[in-house]
Structure 1
């Protein structure tokens, strides 16, 4: 079974402890440093020792799956696309349709250019005969 791109995975490649913050950063598209600083600030504000955040961190690190190796080789555009899909699935369908419309329009322009009657080119060919 192929791994799903819309699931949350731990990112052990960019991890410091268990890869939870790196996974959150990869999942949402937020900068990794901001996620780590936000995690520390939230835990300090709510009581770092004995706080729920540390327990939740280790629980997520224990329950979540590691990021599949197939995702390590995807390019930046694919990564950004899947982050948008996870954030706003409805908008991603609209974006894909818009991209296909743009590609279809460009192909139609090329086809029109190639199949249209170019009078100047026809005259040059006739002049060479």
Structure 2
């Protein structure tokens, strides 16, 4: 399994044990909303089971490695992959198609019979 697609505890952004911050990092949702959701579930639905689950996750989950991502752009990329791998693959294919189209345009420009360009190249020789 890829290290970037694993759920970790995030001790750097933690308030208690880092479980909510880790879930927020994993899903791409703001940590405040994850914390509020966990509190609401514990109070209104799960009761003490929610607290027990939180502490079990706090002990079971590994700490997030300090240099897991190079920058915030890479972090957002991996969050999108975890949220929707198919959508991310479509976005990457679309980017490659766009790059391929632009490269073909540049290639056509330089390979076509451009008299000015030909004259400049001949002048350089």
Instruction: Give the aligned CA root-mean-square deviation in angstroms.
Output: 2.4
Q: Normalising by structure 2, what TM-score?
A: 0.83
1:64 matched residue in structure 2: 61
1:54 matched residue in structure 2: 51
2:11 matched residue in structure 1: 12
CA distance in 2, matches of 1:60, 1:84: 23
CA distance in 2, matches of 1:40, 1:109: 55
Structure 1 residue ranges without an equivalent (≥5): none
CA contact (8 A) 1:3 1:68 kept: no
2:73 matched residue in structure 1: 77
Superposed, which structure 2 residues align to 1:34-113 within 5 Å?
A: 34-46=33-45, 48=47, 51-71=48-68, 73-113=69-109
Q: Which 4+ runs in 1 deviate beyond 6 A?
A: 123-126
CA separation of 1:124 and 1:61: change in aligned 2, threshold 3 A: closer
CA distance in 2, matches of 1:35, 1:125: 61
Structure 2 residue ranges without an equivalent (≥5): none
